[in-house]
């Protein structure tokens, strides 16, 4: 049956590269969650918009479900194909298509890696400021499909702010050219923004036009060890008031434990409860004076237990590794991930509430907290005890997520800050969105994909 379908696809789109040997199905059918067993029908690797359109026309006519696929670095199961879907990988559509200096706009195919976008922007003396650790593997299409955030949101905002245009192939194979790089366009619904964070349920993103901006003149990185989260929030406000903040990230002693065990260099002789990695734009002597005086101010308040400011790129990179290496260092421990957000002002209360809750209910779990302070975004990774079976661990972690969802409802937060809902958080969407809102979302999905063939089962059923 599946062979007949693959043959039918191949004859409908003769130029399309189609893979279906077991190693490719396993490779393209999963993502970084590694929770579902990949079982796609086949993998389509189009090289042009026309091939994407022809593939969608075939899928629509045949009633075949399609999973749009980028770098598959997602952590919510949004790109998993475990039910005989056709994976439509944008991997071969990874070119830079053009740059216009007057607009400061870069047009790229959706399968291009985030890091390649950074490089292309640099070649024009500009920057694309969305950035995070998966930059080398993730694709811009996936970034848009999840409204990816990362480490510079406090200064530059999420991916959404930088998308000036999107080309989308619909479930029926039509091509929509949304917003076309315009700055002002008050001509009805902004469908481009609907596509951002749609997780592959409204169409296949094939091309994006991205805004670029000036890079900071020079940056310096600071690592601080702090005694408590309340102090950390004081430091955040004091530094933000005094310096041009580019990033303000935190992690706990447990996160440091894992990155050091994974090969990172311990920054200080002692271990402390909380750490901040902050980056600042710093130009010339005035920048240096402002940096030192802000640092001294924090010391004088008695907030800082230990601290260091980077001198040179190598040291800055080493300090960043302590934060950016966390996900990789946790991977061997089978982490169950939560990616939540509350208002920045609500973070201390939310953290105190949930830390106490988890310590009381789940003392056996190693829970690793880190994230993006300036964005109110906490990553809560629960690690599997080595003597616990995988299936039991997942059941326990779903309970943890239920506790978190209830706490988030109380604190006015969201069950997904930047990773998306996918399969992992689908049962908890209702803790963040009202029933009426979800009904509107379903209606929008039906309008764009009446047969429900695009990424079915993701976001909501
Ligand atoms: C990060 O901020 C990423 O490093 C990954 O969003 C978070 O691994 C995680 O839980
Ligand atoms: Zn993050």
- Provide the pLDDT for residue 201: 98
Instruction: Look at strands 245-252 and 204-211 and give their pairing.
Output: unpaired
- Provide the pLDDT for residue 337: 95
- Provide the pLDDT for residue 435: 97
Protein residue with its CA nearest to atom 5 in ligand 1: 327
- Provide the pLDDT for residue 1: 59
- Determine the distance separating the centroid of ligand 2 and the alpha carbon of 158, expressed in angstroms: 11
DSSP code at position 90: -
Structure tokens at 399: 């309970």
Asked if 299 contacts 293 with a C-beta cutoff of 8 angstroms, the reply is no
Model pLDDT for residues 42-75, shown as the tens digit of each residue: 999 999 999 999 999 999 999 999 999 999 999 9
DSSP 3-state of 374:
helix
Protein residue with its CA nearest to atom 8 in ligand 1: 327
Q: Which residue from 133, 138, 158, 321 has its CB within 8 A of the most atoms of ligand 1, so it is best to mutate? A: 133
- Determine the distance separating the centroid of ligand 2 and the alpha carbon of 452, expressed in angstroms: 30
pTM for the complete prediction?
0.96
Asked if 337 contacts 75 with a C-beta cutoff of 8 angstroms, the reply is yes
From CA 433, how far away is CA 435, in angstroms rounded?
7
Beta carbons within 8 Å of 115's beta carbon, 6+ residues apart: 135, 136
3-state helix, strand, coil split of the chain in percent (to 5) is: 40, 20, 35
Chain centroid to CA 271: how far? 29
Residues recorded for the chain: 461
- Determine the distance separating the centroid of ligand 1 and the alpha carbon of 347, expressed in angstroms: 17
Distances (CA, A) of 344 to 140, 161, 239, 290, 373: 27, 19, 15, 25, 7
Four-CA torsion 78, 166, 196, 160, nearest 10 degrees: 130
Rg (CA), the chain: 23
From CA 368, how far away is CA 335, in angstroms rounded?
9
Structure tokens at 429: 């969407």
Give the atom of ligand 1 at the shortest distance from the alpha carbon of 249: 2
- Provide the pLDDT for residue 192: 98
Burial 24-41, CB ≥16 within 10 A → b, else e? bbeebbbbbbebbebebb
Measured from the Cβ of residue 332, the count of other Cβ atoms closer than 10 Å reads 11
Domains of the chain: 2-92 (3.30.43.10), 96-211 (3.30.465.10), 219-327 (3.30.70.2190), 334-441 (3.30.70.2740)
DSSP 3-state of 381:
strand
Four-CA torsion 407, 413, 417, 419, nearest 10 degrees: 40
- Provide the pLDDT for residue 2: 76
Asked if 282 contacts 219 with a C-beta cutoff of 8 angstroms, the reply is yes
DSSP code at position 64: -
From CA 286, how far away is CA 358, in angstroms rounded?
45
Protein residue with its CA nearest to atom 6 in ligand 1: 150
From CA 257, how far away is CA 271, in angstroms rounded?
9
Beta carbons within 8 Å of 134's beta carbon, 6+ residues apart: 71, 73, 114
Residue list, ligand 1 pocket, CB within 6 Å: 132-133, 327, 337, 379, 381
- Provide the pLDDT for residue 341: 98
pLDDT < 70: residue spans in the chain: 1
> Which ligand does the CA of 382 lie closest to?
1
């Amino acid at each position: 049956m599946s062979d007949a379908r693959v043959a039918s696809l191949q004859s409908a789109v003769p130029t399309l590269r189609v893979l279906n040997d077991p190693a490719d199905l396993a490779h393209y059918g999963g993502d970084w969650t590694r929770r579902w067993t990949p079982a796609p029908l086949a993998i389509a690797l189009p090289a042009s918009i026309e091939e994407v359109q022809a593939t969608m026309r075939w899928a629509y006519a045949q009633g075949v479900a399609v999973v749009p696929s980028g770098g598959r670095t997602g952590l919510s199961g949004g790109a998993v194909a475990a039910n005989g879907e056709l994976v439509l990988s944008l991997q071969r559509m990874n070119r830079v298509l053009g740059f216009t200096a007057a607009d400061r706009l870069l047009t790229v195919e959706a399968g291009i890696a985030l890091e390649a976008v950074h490089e292309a922007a640099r070649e024009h003396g500009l920057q694309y400021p969305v950035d995070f650790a998966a930059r080398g593997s993730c694709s811009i299409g996936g970034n848009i499909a999840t409204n990816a955030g990362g480490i510079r949101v406090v200064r530059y905002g999420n991916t959404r702010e930088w998308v000036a245009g999107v080309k989308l192939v619909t479930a029926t194979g039509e091509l929509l050219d949304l917003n076309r790089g315009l700055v002002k366009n008050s001509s009805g619904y902004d469908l481009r923004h609907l596509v951002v964070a749609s997780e592959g349920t409204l169409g296949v993103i094939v091309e994006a036009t991205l805004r670029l901006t000036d890079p900071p003149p020079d940056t310096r990185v600071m690592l601080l060890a702090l005694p408590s989260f309340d102090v950390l929030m004081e430091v955040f406000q004091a530094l933000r008031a005094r310096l041009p903040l580019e990033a303000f990230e935190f992690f706990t002693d447990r996160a440091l434990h894992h990155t050091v065990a994974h090969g990172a260099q311990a920054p200080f002789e002692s271990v402390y409860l909380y750490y901040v990695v902050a980056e600042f734009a710093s130009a010339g002597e005035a920048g240096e004076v402002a940096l030192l005086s802000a640092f001294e101010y924090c010391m004088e308040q008695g907030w800082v237990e230990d601290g260091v400011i980077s001198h040179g790129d190598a040291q800055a990179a080493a300090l960043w590794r302590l934060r950016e290496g966390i996900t990789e260092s946790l991977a061997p421990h089978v982490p169950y991930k939560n990616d939540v957000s509350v208002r920045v002002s609500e973070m201390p209360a939310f953290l105190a509430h949930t830390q106490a809750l988890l310590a009381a209910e789940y003392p056996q779990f190693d829970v690793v907290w880190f994230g993006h302070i300036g964005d109110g975004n906490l990553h809560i990774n629960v690690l599997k005890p080595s003597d616990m079976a995988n299936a039991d661990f997942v059941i326990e972690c779903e309970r943890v997520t239920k506790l978190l969802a209830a706490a988030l409802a109380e604190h006015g937060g969201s069950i997904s800050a930047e990773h998306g809902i996918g399969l992992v958080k689908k049962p908890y969407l209702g803790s963040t969105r009202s029933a009426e809102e979800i009904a509107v979302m379903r209606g929008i999905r039906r309008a764009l994909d009446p047969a429900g063939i695009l990424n079915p089962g993701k976001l909501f059923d």
